[in-house]
Amino acid sequence: MTIRSLSFPKCLGTLLFLGLIYLFVPAAHAETDPPYESLKLFVAVLEELENNYVEDVDAETLIHNAIKGMVENLDPHSSFMPPQAFEDLQDDTKGEFSGIGIVITLQDGILTVVSPIEGTPAYDAGIYAGDIIVKIDGESTKGMALWEAVNRMRGPRHEEVMITVIREDEPAPMEFTLKRDLIPMTSVRSALLASGYGYIRVTNFRMNTHEEMGKQLEALEAEASPLKGLVIDLRDNPGGLLDQAIKMADFFLNAGTIVSIKGRDQKDNQDYQAHPDRSDINYPVVVLINGGSASASEIVAGALQDHARALILGTPSFGKGSVQTVRPLKDGYGLKYTIARYYTPNGRSIQAKGIQPDIEVDPGILEETRKKASAFDRMIKEKDLPHSLMPEEDAKAPVSEETVPDVSEQQRQIKESAKLLQDVQVKRALDILISYGVFSNLNDK
Specify whether the CB–CB gap between 237 and 202 falls below 8 A: yes
Indicate which residue of 295, 297, 317, 322 is catalytic.
Answer: 295
Specify whether the CB–CB gap between 434 and 194 falls below 8 A: yes
Q: How many residues does the chain have?
A: 445
Residue 320 bears catalytic tag: yes
DSSP H or E run through 261: strand 257-263
β-pair partners for 423? 365
Specify whether the CB–CB gap between 286 and 233 falls below 8 A: no
β-pair partners for 135? 140, 164
Nearest to 314 by CA among 328, 303, 324, 301: 301
Residue 262 bears catalytic tag: no
Indicate which residue of 135, 247, 320, 336 is catalytic.
Answer: 320
Alpha-helical regions (H) of 57-191: 59-72, 83-91, 121-125, 146-153
Q: In degrees, to the nearest 5, what angle opens at C-alpha 319 toward C-alphas 214 and 131?
A: 100
Three-state SS at 34:
helix
Residue 415 bears catalytic tag: no
| Region for residue 69 given its phi and psi (left: phi exceeds 0; alpha: psi -120 to 50; beta: otherwise) | alpha
How far is residue 383's CA from residue 259's CA, in Å, rounded to a whole number? Answer: 55
How far is residue 437's CA from residue 126's CA, in Å, rounded to a whole number? Answer: 36
How far is residue 300's CA from residue 304's CA, in Å, rounded to a whole number? Answer: 6
> How crowded is residue 152: how many other Cβ atoms within 10 Å of its Cβ?
16
Cα dist from 259 to 7, 240, 267, 400, whole Å:
52, 15, 16, 53
Indicate which residue of 306, 317, 336, 423 is catalytic.
Answer: 306
Specify whether the CB–CB gap between 277 and 227 falls below 8 A: no
Annotated active-site positions, please? 295, 306, 320
